[in-house]
Amino acid sequence: MAGILLEGDHVTDDERAAHARALATKEREKSMSRAAEVKARVGAQKLGKALQFPGTALSDRVVEPGPFSCKLAKGDHLRIIDLEGQQAVDFLVYDAANDENRYNAANTIKINRSVYIGKGFRLISDLGDVLMTIIEDTVGHHDTIGGCCSTEVNYMRYGIKDTPSCRTNFISALRAHGMDPRDIPANINFFMNVPVRPDGSTEIVDGLSEPGDYVDLRAEKDVLVVISNCPQQYNPCSGWNPTPIRVIEWHPQPGR
């Protein structure tokens, strides 16, 4: 979205911060109004569909903006539901038996021949293993290149110190599994919209997901999933207003 940043050596941090806060306040109001209209129109129908799956729920949790992790056995599914729409979900996955064998963005883009994730997309590891497959997807357009926000880069962009961030969330979630910041590769951003124009330019713009949209991933081997439900307030990746998601782990019926 054009106009998010004040750029240039002549711009002070205070000026950048004032601009970012004022713009976020203005855009948040518009985004929340739009989300409420869409939710009233299609939210119940979409959520009803999202809660149907051919198997048994192993866990069902609402995740506020912040960190989340879980381990899935081969063949089990993870369903991520965007409850309010336009909520970026930063996502990493690791081989549970060898956490050095993790999601590799470049390999995934090469094998799937696309920078946008959708149904049928395979998540490829450093060592060329398929870690998970997208089995269902009601949006069909998710980001592989934007990476995670960080407190440091937020300050660089918006002039605001000590913001919550996905990198901080990843560090917190990984620490519980004996891992550290060096274990954070480039990540997937479910429900985030980062178009690449013909001239190669790109930026984060308004998301395409609506309340009740979801993705469903099948584990192709035992995996560790690490999520940051994005807390970003100063660009459109979370509709300027970070909201909860719902995460369901489920086991398919025999023969499915």
Is residue 212 domain-resident?
yes
Closest by Cα among 33, 238, 17 to 4: 17
- CA–CA gap between residue 118 and residue 216 (Å, rounded): 10
Give the three-class secondary structure for 249.
strand
Is residue 3 domain-resident?
no
Per-residue burial over 120-157, b = 16 or more CB atoms within 10 Å of its CB, e = otherwise: ebbbbbbeebebbbbbbbbbebbbbebbbbbbeebbeb
- CA–CA gap between residue 256 and residue 251 (Å, rounded): 10
Is residue 1 domain-resident?
no
Is residue 184 domain-resident?
yes
pTM of the full structure:
0.96
Is residue 35 domain-resident?
yes
Provide the domain count of the chain. 1
Q: Digits of tens for pLDDT over the chain (256 positions)?
A: 445 788 888 899 999 999 999 999 999 999 999 999 999 999 999 999 999 999 999 999 999 999 999 999 999 999 999 999 999 999 999 999 999 999 999 999 999 999 999 999 999 999 999 999 999 999 999 999 999 999 999 999 999 999 999 999 999 999 999 999 999 999 999 999 999 999 999 999 999 999 999 999 999 999 999 999 999 999 999 999 999 999 999 999 986 6
Token pair for 82:
């965007």
> Which domain does 89 fall in, by range?
13-252
Is residue 8 domain-resident?
no
- Element (DSSP H or E) covering residue 221: none
Is residue 4 domain-resident?
no
- Element (DSSP H or E) covering residue 88: none
Is residue 36 domain-resident?
yes
